[in-house]
Chain A
């Protein structure tokens, strides 16, 4: 049973891990190996929790359908009488009870859910950075998983309301969600910083159909800005010139500044998304770093 496993995994979490699930906020500085150990149990719990929520959601749906259908056997049960009849009479009530219980569990699981970006993007990224970093170096990460439509992230709201009984009514809410920051010193001496920000627009439209029905719809659209700054030491890497600075065809914008001891690469990738829980494609993030490394050459040491 997935739900039992979820409960067991939750109980096995340490108090700081439970606090993360409660607050949906992570901010630590520690070596990548420790990060992976710390997040491993959280990721496992999240995966199991997602599976449980799905199963419980289905259970609720099926229970309510069963409750509806069992209404039709109610007269048969009343007519039959006896234990079988009583059972048929109790069936709708039992189904409704099960449905309500499943819904309560569903929302309880939803409350302790953590964004899939943690296990599908952040954890793999840390595993890759573990390779790029000296084992003793610390990785500073800040993650805000409260969600892109958290009320504290509202930037502005606009309303278009033509008046009572007049449609369409449109309400737009704009959110700014800086949810992932990080800083690392790489084994080649490079210093890496990144900042992932989601700009989200929530549009709630209430309109009247030609048949006179009032319908409401909520839509999300977001723009994800992935900004990376990578300072590579000139002692190790020179700037590639001409053909050497090969592009990769990815949609990465890059600006390079030559400093006294480092070349600083500022890289940006913009991604449009329509689902609030959209997961960052790991390779798209890695492309940002690859773009910087493509633009340096070996000439500095020769």
Chain B
């Protein structure tokens, strides 16, 4: 089974990593339960759902799909190029002009604990 195609993150994007269970009715990408929205328009990934619902959110409704909608608008209005921190970018993000790492696929991203002192070592 393939992995979820939605990218998490805001300033630097990364692969969701969860197992994909459903296919988006708009972009045909496979997505995990966390990134799927089932509504009147059928099954959509959080990003496609955000694009369709643009501007229709209540002020206090900050769901994942709204964050992705905001992310999309922020990139465009602020001319921001996010980093991509993963292994399978896909064409969905071509418009973002992402800055990708030339990562060796065999080398996992280390996210070990950093000591407080390390943060202030500079």
Which A residues have a C-beta under 8 Å from some C-beta of B?
A: 36, 40, 43-44, 47, 119-120, 123-124, 126-128, 130-132, 134, 185, 187-189, 191, 231, 233, 235-237, 248, 250, 257-264, 282-283, 286-287, 289-290, 293-294, 297-298, 301-302
With A187-B8, A189-B110, A191-B119 known, 12 other A-B pairs at CB within 8 A are A123-B62, A124-B67, A127-B62, A128-B67, A131-B10, A132-B9, A132-B11, A236-B85, A236-B109, A259-B122, A261-B114, A290-B80
The residues in B between 77 and 122 inclusive whose CB is less than 8 angstroms from any CB of A are 77-80, 82-83, 85, 99-103, 109-111, 114, 118-122
Which residues of B line the A interface, CB within 8 A? Answer: 8-12, 14, 59-60, 62-64, 66-67, 70-71, 74, 77-80, 82-83, 85, 99-103, 109-111, 114, 118-122
Whether A283 lies near B78 (C-beta < 8 A) is: yes
Majority SS at the chain B contact face: loop
A-B contact pairs, 8 of them (CB 8 A): A123-B62, A127-B64, A128-B70, A233-B114, A257-B122, A261-B118, A264-B119, A290-B80
B62, closest chain A residue (CB) = A127
Contact partner of B83 among A257, A286, A293, CB < 8 A? Answer: A293
Q: Which B residues are in CB contact (< 8 Å) with A290? A: 11, 74, 78, 80
Query: Chain B residues near A293 (CB, 8 Å)?
Result: 11-12, 80, 82-83
